Structure 1
Amino acid sequence: MTRRNLRYIILAILIIIVIIGVEIFSSTKITTTSTIGKTIPNNLYNQLIELSNQGYNITALPTYYFKVSPLNFSSNGKPAVIFVGAEWCPYCAAERWALIIALLRFGNFSGLEYMLSSSTDVYPNTPTFTFVNATYSSPYITFYGIEYQDRDYQPLEKVPNQVYYVWSNYANLSIPFIVIGYYYKVGTSIDPGLLSNHNWTYVIEQLHNPNSQIYKEIYAEANLITEMICKVDGGKPYSVCSHFIQNDYIPNIYIGEELRIEK
């Protein structure tokens, strides 16, 4: 084999490596917005369920991230979990991953749709989901996902008066805003920059990798939400709450006056 032929072979190999690398890189990046607003397929939903069954190895964030609300939110005799966010918001986008993982430990969703945060805001095109047309069922809790603005910053869903009272007076209308029974939390501990301009497949792959920063941050937040739900629902189901409730720990359950929450 001549040196010239060897150089051609090496050059061809390098070109193939570059092409493969570009394809792999591109496969993790946002390439289209055509999926926005479309219902996620069953295979993706099943992957989310699978993700909800793992991640308990990550220590939950401290419960002091949640503060005591002046109102106790419940519905149909069950503690209410309430999310107030906006489709354009990258911080909400990141938080939804953790919230959905946590909620799937207690019940089931239908109608989740693809969403990207705004392309013109910080951390553009953060892959996420929207709760606009989603429904949730659980024997332990109720869930209300409120998207008060769409991806174009236009009004979308009304925030119920009771929720707006706590949100405005105790959270300064900041988002994401989460209420769990009579606890509330503002903001997220997840860095949206880890997800920005990637696609849903990339995030799910990272959530299967315990060494990934995405895995660590999303599951730390998901486990905090899970622990707080266990505090207000009496530690049920045991298969979930046993990861957080010690033998000497008495769940802090209290169902007060029933509050009507209508979207």
Structure 2
Amino acid sequence: MSSFVPRRVLGKFMHVTDQPLKRDGGKSLVYFMGAGFCPFCAAERWAIVKALERFGKWEGLVEDKSAGHDEKYLNVPTFSLARAKYSSSHVEFAGKETADRNFEPLQELGDSDFEILDMYNPDQMIPFLLVDGQYMQVGAGFSPEMIQNMSHEQVRAELDKPDSAIGKAMRAEIDNITALVCKSIGGKGQACGSESIKTLVEKL
């Protein structure tokens, strides 16, 4: 019987198991489930996209916004991952967007989704992010309130400002995801060489 005890690690991430989840030739799997209307999903996608850019390449990313009504935070700029493709030597990305920003159904969950959700997120809460089957987070690593009603250009500008509170919050979540991926791939990526990421990995 395993003596593993789940614990909170970086940000809101929990270390939930010591059993890696590998697919596609042994690559580390990053799995995301969200919905277009969801403001917390909208915020977290920025961190997912920017972190995984450090390990590979996105194609087909579409700029989008969260719902304009009936949510706590409105019109949060984001990306739709519904038709996005991701390629990397070390990381596989799999994601599902269950609805669009207008609350209309978008992508159906399949057997491979339920295999993950039944084990890690049976209530299907969103946003849900799982790194390598070991580290999971339900919710966003920073508040969507910080970027609601902003344009994508404004968000990018904040990300580039060293002293921006918005930028700092977003970069912290990007770095958390980066560190979790680095841990899961044995530090192989170039992004894993920075001292700030190494410091985070040491906490895992």
Give per-residue Cα distances to partners, 1:32-76, cap 9 Å, x unaligned. Answer: xxxxxxxxxxxxxxxxxxxxxxxxxxxxx7267233257724223
Query: Residues 63 and 218 of structure 1: is their aligned pair in 2 closer, same or farther, counting only changes over 3 Å?
Result: closer
Q: Report how far residue 166 of structure 1 moved.
A: 4.0
Matched, 1:232 2:181: no
Runs of at least 4 residues off by over 4 Å? none
From the CA coordinates, give the structure whose radius of gyration is larger. Answer: 1
**Number of equivalences:** 188
- 1:70-85 matches, within 5 Å, as 72-85=21-34
Q: Report how far residue 77 of structure 1 moved.
A: 2.2
- 1:186-197 matches, within 5 Å, as 186-197=138-149
Q: Where in structure 2 are there 5+ consecutive unaligned residues?
A: 1-8
SS of aligned partner of 2:186: coil
Stretch deviating more after TM superposition (143-152 or 68-77): 68-77
Aligned to 2:74: 124
Structure (1 or 2) with the greater helix fraction = 1
Instruction: Report the RMSD for the aligned CA atoms in angstroms.
Output: 2.2
Q: 2:163 aligns with which of 186, 198, 211?
A: 211
Stretch deviating more after TM superposition (130-139 or 71-80): 71-80
SS of aligned partner of 2:149: coil
8 Å CA contact 2:11, 2:173 repeated in 1 = no
Q: Report how far residue 198 of structure 1 moved.
A: 1.1
8 Å CA contact 1:74, 1:181 repeated in 2 = no
Q: Report how far residue 163 of structure 1 moved.
A: 3.3
8 Å CA contact 2:42, 2:77 repeated in 1 = yes
Matched, 1:245 2:193: no
Give per-residue Cα distances to partners, 1:154-206, cap 9 Å, x unaligned. Answer: 22112333433443554321111111112222111211111111111110111
Q: Counterpart of 2:68 in structure 1: which amino acid?
A: S
Aligned to 1:153: 103
Paired with 1:72 and 1:66, the residues of 2 have a C-alpha distance of 15
Matched, 1:175 2:118: no
Aligned to 1:62: 10
Give per-residue Cα distances to partners, 1:93-144, cap 9 Å, x unaligned. Answer: 0001111110000000111001110000221100110011111100111111
Q: Report how far residue 241 of structure 1 moved.
A: 0.8
8 Å CA contact 2:12, 2:141 repeated in 1 = no
8 Å CA contact 1:84, 1:176 repeated in 2 = yes
Paired with 1:126 and 1:64, the residues of 2 have a C-alpha distance of 20
Matched, 1:141 2:91: yes
8 Å CA contact 2:73, 2:148 repeated in 1 = yes
8 Å CA contact 1:167, 1:174 repeated in 2 = no
SS of aligned partner of 1:205: helix
Matched, 1:90 2:21: no
Query: Residues 206 and 96 of structure 1: is their aligned pair in 2 closer, same or farther, counting only changes over 3 Å?
Result: same
SS of aligned partner of 2:198: coil
8 Å CA contact 1:67, 1:185 repeated in 2 = no
Aligned to 1:258: none
Percent sequence identity over aligned pairs: 34
Query: Residues 64 and 203 of structure 1: is their aligned pair in 2 closer, same or farther, counting only changes over 3 Å?
Result: closer
TM-score, structure 2 as length reference: 0.83
Q: Report how far residue 145 of structure 1 moved.
A: 2.4
